[in-house]
Amino acid sequence: MTDRADVIVIGGGIVGTSAAFFLRRRQRSVILLERGLTGQQASGVNFGGVRRQGRALSQLAMSNRALDVWYRAQALLGEDVEFLPSGHTRVCYHAHDAEYFHRYAADARAYGLDLEVLDGAAMFRRLPFLGPEVLAASISPRDGHANPRLAAPAFGRAAARLGASLVENTEIVRVEKEAGGFRVESAAGAVWRAEQLLVCAGAWAGALSAQFGEPVPLVARGPQMAVTEPVPYRFGSSMGVYTSIKEESVYFRQVARGNLVLGGGLSGPADVSTRRASVLPANTVGQLAQFRRFVPALATLNVIRVWSGVEGYLPDAEPVIGPSVTTPGLFYAFGFSGSGFQIGPGVGETLAELLAVGRTEIALDPFSIARFGRMAHHAVPEAGVSASTASEA
């Protein structure tokens, strides 16, 4: 087994597998180390929203790059990850949110995100199924959704076909800098070495960054998911309610088979040690009440399954992406705070570029881990509370 490479990637979610894939396309040798199986954690159990609209403007350049990868996914990977570029529509119930839709659409245009905002009668003519309380809708025609169960494993397999070494069922417990590069050690005592190290360990990344003197206020929460029985296919666009009242938020998408996958509302608990996230029944009941308010005609649908997943949240709802401040050759990408699935392949491609050529056109300053050094003396708010976008998958 290869125990030395140009780059070691820790974590086989959508970010780590796509980074490994794009690193191989740049001829960097790669070892990807994953504690379980690729795509087994958040990347494999999420809602599947491939949504740019609603993101912080600072994320849009990366998010556009990611969307470009989603559009090319089948050609790049040689596998279908069920990406459907069928649009994303978000709606609101409050006048200040409708005003925000217009403001955001104007601001986002400068970043290459074109949105159409409809109000009142024009909106109900286009979207007659919306509940009577809806005031405005913002439509992003080029966004869409994909199958999370397929995406990260497909990137992993494609990386392996290009020569990456994928090592699953291997937990890394010790990471350190030594002369000429990095040494990483598994719980079973196996050792790998590389010139560069990329930590893409999701909600668990803090245990690794702390070993380089860079602790982060990362907390785990479990977004609540449900899926209904199948009904005739009607909704191409992924749909969501935008609101600053977390209990009001709900979003759904319909898969080709007819089932509606839904999420939103309050999160449930997630435990990084057991790697489990629970669904609280009260949250599902709340979610369904909001689902009926959003599209009353769907009120009679039965839920056939619920689930959650372990997601890492940072207090400002921005991820950490980019170089370490303490350790040359070390890079991070984690803490996607509820919206890393869409942007993941763009992060992977950007990191591959950064590691291979030492720079990227995408501005990474807002995502620097250095901000937590600066925030060290500030109280850390409860996870996700400040994350208005986090409830909008």
Ligand X SMILES: Cc1cc2nc3c(=O)[nH]c(=O)nc-3n(C[C@H](O)[C@H](O)[C@H](O)COP(=O)(O)OP(=O)(O)OC[C@H]3O[C@@H](n4cnc5c(N)ncnc54)[C@H](O)[C@@H]3O)c2cc1C
User: Which is nearer to ligand X, 46 or 259 (by Cβ)?
Assistant: 46
Residues 6 or more apart from 202 whose CB is under 8 A from it? 11, 13, 15, 41, 42, 43, 310, 311, 312, 334
**384 touches ligand X by CB under 6 A:** no
Q: Per-residue x/- mask for ligand X, residues 246 to 275, rule CB under 6 A?
A: -----------------x------------
Q: Which lies closer to ligand X via its Cβ, residue 215 or residue 296?
A: 215
Query: Residues near 324 by Cβ (< 8 Å), separated by ≥ 6?
Result: 209, 212, 214, 330, 331, 332, 369
From CA 334, how far away is CA 201, in angstroms rounded?
Answer: 6
Q: Is 393 in the site for ligand X (CB under 6 A)?
A: yes
Select the residue interacting with ligand X from 62, 154, 172, 197 (CB under 6 A): 172
Nearer to ligand X, 10 or 118 (CB): 10
Q: Minimum distance between the CB of residue 274 and ligand X, rounded to whole angstroms?
A: 13
Going by their DSSP bridges, the two strands 4-10 and 303-307 should be labelled as unpaired
Segment contacting ligand X (CB under 6 A): 55-63, 196-204, 294-302, 351-359? 196-204
Q: Assess 176 for contact with ligand X (CB under 6 A).
A: no
Query: Quick one: which segment of 34-42, 154-162, 298-306, 370-378 binds ligand X (CB under 6 A)?
Result: 34-42
3-state secondary structure of 189: coil
Is residue 338 within 8 A of residue 308, CB to CB? The reply is no
Tell me which stretch binds ligand X (CB under 6 A): 89-97, 102-110, 295-303, 339-347. Answer: 339-347
Nearest approach in angstroms of CB 370 to ligand X is 20
Q: What is the contact mask toward ligand X in residues 269 to 308, using x (rule: CB under 6 A)?
A: ---------------------------------------x
User: Distance between CA atoms of 207 and 218, rounded to whole angstroms?
Assistant: 10
Query: For ligand X, which stretch binds (CB under 6 A), given 11-19, 99-107, 160-168, 352-360?
Result: 11-19
Q: Is 11 in the site for ligand X (CB under 6 A)?
A: yes
Name the residue with tokens 């790049």: 76
Query: Which candidate, 321, 305, 311, 304, places its Cα nearest to that of 360?
Result: 321
- In which element (H, E) is residue 106 found? helix 95-109
Q: Which of 14, 61, 226, 354 binds ligand X (CB under 6 A)?
A: 14
Site for ligand X contains 47 (CB under 6 A):
yes
Using CA atoms, how far apart are residues 348 and 351, in angstroms rounded to an integer? 5
The count of C-alpha atoms lying within 13 angstroms of the C-alpha of 290, restricted to the half-sphere facing its C-beta, is: 27
Q: Which one, 98 or 251, has the nearer CB to ligand X? A: 251
Q: Is residue 46 part of the contact set for ligand X (CB under 6 A)?
A: yes
Nearer to ligand X, 200 or 317 (CB): 200
The DSSP output letter for 229 is: P
Task: Enumerate residues 6+ apart whose C-beta is below 8 A from 18.
Answer: 69, 152, 155, 344, 345, 347, 348, 349
Which CB atom, from 102 or from 149, has the smaller least distance to ligand X? 149
Contact residue for ligand X among 5, 7, 42, 288 (CB under 6 A):
42
SS3 call for 91: strand
The binding site for ligand X (CB under 6 A) comprises 10-16, 33-36, 40-43, 45-49, 171-172, 200-204, 223, 225, 263, 308-309, 311, 334, 336, 338-342, 344, 393
